[in-house]
């Protein structure tokens, strides 16, 4: 059996995997603006909403094997109105011991392109979150991106999906 060290792996994360906490802004699963696509839509109302995006990548219990997570790209589209603020956080969460809750969630520092993700125009946008110190994902860890959207009553925004970029070593 061979050895794989591929530095250009990517994993699509569909919007159906996104989680919208209760009490957050109103989000619904809808058909995308492009035929045969899906989206999570922030419906028009004046509020702040949070979307949790699970970064689903391979992990490994052996050091420096599995996934070396380098960046996450988030695609979204402003359909009407404007967002006054869109911010991101990346969390690496360590799973708890048997029957215990996860107790450690650390933020991963990153740079963002474009540097500010304020969607002030009706158009498609992509926020690229490049992790400052890429991290190997151990088999007892997982990664979440938290996206917070602040928008006025007329804003309708579709979250189109995400892509995780990583090195795969197995």
Give pLDDT, residue 23. 59
The yes-or-no verdict on residue 115 having pLDDT over 90 is no
Name every residue whose Cβ is closer than 8 Å to that of residue 148 and which is 6 or more positions away in sequence.
48, 49, 50, 51, 85, 86, 87, 88
Q: What is this structure's pTM?
A: 0.90
Q: What is the pLDDT of residue 22?
A: 66
The predicted structure's pLDDT at residue 75: 94
List residues bridging with 151 in a β-sheet. Answer: 47, 83
Residue 153 has a pLDDT of 83
Q: What percent of the chain has pLDDT over 90?
A: 51
pLDDT at 109 over 90: yes
Query: What is the CB-side half-sphere exposure of residue 115 using CA atoms within 13 A?
Result: 0
CA separation for the pair 92, 94 (Å, rounded): 7
How far is 26 from 21, CA to CA, in rounded Å? 10
Quick one: pLDDT at residue 53? Answer: 97
132: nearest Cα among 65, 71, 55: 71
Task: Provide the pLDDT confidence category of residue 119 given band limits of 50, 70 and 90.
Answer: low
Strand partners, 48: 150
Looking at the domain that runs over 5-169, which CATH code has it been given?
Answer: 2.60.120.260
Domain boundaries, the chain: 5-169
**What is the C-alpha radius of gyration for the chain, rounded to an integer number of angstroms?**
17
Contacts of 94 (CB under 8 A, 6+ apart): 102, 103, 104, 105, 140, 141
- Give 36-79 pLDDT, tens digit per residue: 889 988 888 787 888 999 999 999 999 889 999 999 999 998 88
Which of 65, 41, 18, 52 has its CA nearest to residue 168?
65
Which tops the pLDDT comparison, 148 or 120?
148
Ranges 9-18, 31-40, 56-65, most confident: 9-18
């Amino acid at each position: 059996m061979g050895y794989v060290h591929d530095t250009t792996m990517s994993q699509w994360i569909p919007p159906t995997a996104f989680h919208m906490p209760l009490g957050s802004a109103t989000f619904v699963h809808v058909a995308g603006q492009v035929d045969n696509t899906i989206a999570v839509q922030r419906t028009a109302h004046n509020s702040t909403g949070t979307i949790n995006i699970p970064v689903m990548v391979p992990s490994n219990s052996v050091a420096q094997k599995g996934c070396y997570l380098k960046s996450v790209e988030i695609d979204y589209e402003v359909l009407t109105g404007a967002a006054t603020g869109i911010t991101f956080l990346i969390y690496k969460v360590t799973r708890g011991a048997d029957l215990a809750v996860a107790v450690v969630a650390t933020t991963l520092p990153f740079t963002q392109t474009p540097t500010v993700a304020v969607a002030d125009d009706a158009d498609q946008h992509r926020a690229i979150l490049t992790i400052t110190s890429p991290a190997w994902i151990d088999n007892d860890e997982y990664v979440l991106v938290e996206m917070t959207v602040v928008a006025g009553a007329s804003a309708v925004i579709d979250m189109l999906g995400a892509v995780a970029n990583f090195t795969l070593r197995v």
